Structure 1
Amino acid sequence: MFVVIFRAKVREFDDEYSQTAARMRELAIKEFGCLEFSAVTEGSDEVALSYWPSEEHIRRWRAHPEHRAAQQRGKEKWYASYSVQVAEISRQYSSLK
């Protein structure tokens, strides 16, 4: 399993951002195999984690035209800066009750 870690400095959030983010989450999960997606914002910092079964799933998602358009809009309007990290999860455990 792989995780994509997206970090950003938020310039502006608006209704368009909220709608785009919801659409991207839905598309990633329903059509591209994303296993889980979560995001938090604190002040101007945003961190989003998405979990994927393979790097190929991530590559296809990254190349999707609707996702590319959302990325471009983010660069132009919503984010002052951002970074993306992709990591392979080598071990996982939890305590669920």
Structure 2
Amino acid sequence: MYVVIFKAKVRQFDDQYSQTANRMRELALTEFGCLEFNAVTEGDLEIALSYWPSEEHIKAWKQHPEHLAAQQLGKQRWYESYSVEVVEIKRSYKSGSY
């Protein structure tokens, strides 16, 4: 399993951002095999974690036309800066029903 860690310094959010973010999450989860998608914002920092079964799923998601358009809007309007890390999970465990 893989996790994509997206971190961004927020320039501004607007109504279009919320709609776009919701659509991207829905698309990732329903059409591209994303297993889980979580995002948090604190002050001007946003962090999103998305979990994927393979790198191929991630690459297909990255190249989808709607996602490419959202990336462009992010660069132009919503984010001052951002980083993306793709990490392979070697071990995972949990306690309780988290």
Give the TM bin, normalised by the shorter chain: over 0.9
1:51-62 equivalences under 5 Å are 51-62=51-62
Aligned-partner Cα distance in 2 for 1:20–1:27: 10
Q: Residue 38 of structure 2: SS of its match in structure 1? A: strand
TM-score normalized with structure 2 length: 0.98
Query: What 5-or-longer segments of structure 1 have no aligned partner?
Result: none
1:72 corresponding residue in structure 2: 72
CA RMSD of aligned residues (A): 0.5
* 3-state SS, counterpart of residue 77 of structure 2: helix
- Matched residue, 1:47: 47
Residue 66 of structure 2 aligns with an amino acid whose one-letter code is E
Deviation, 1:96, is: 1.4
TM-score for the superposition, normalised by structure 1: 0.99
Identity %: 72
Q: In the alignment, is residue 92 of structure 1 matched against residue 98 of structure 2?
A: no
For the residue of structure 1 that corresponds to 2:92, the secondary structure is coil
- Letter of the 1:96 counterpart: G
> Which residue of structure 2 aligns with residue 4 of structure 1?
4
One-letter code aligned to 1:74: G
Q: How many residues align?
A: 97
Residue 46 of structure 1: how far off its partner (Å)? 0.4
**Runs of 4+ with deviation above 6 angstroms:** none
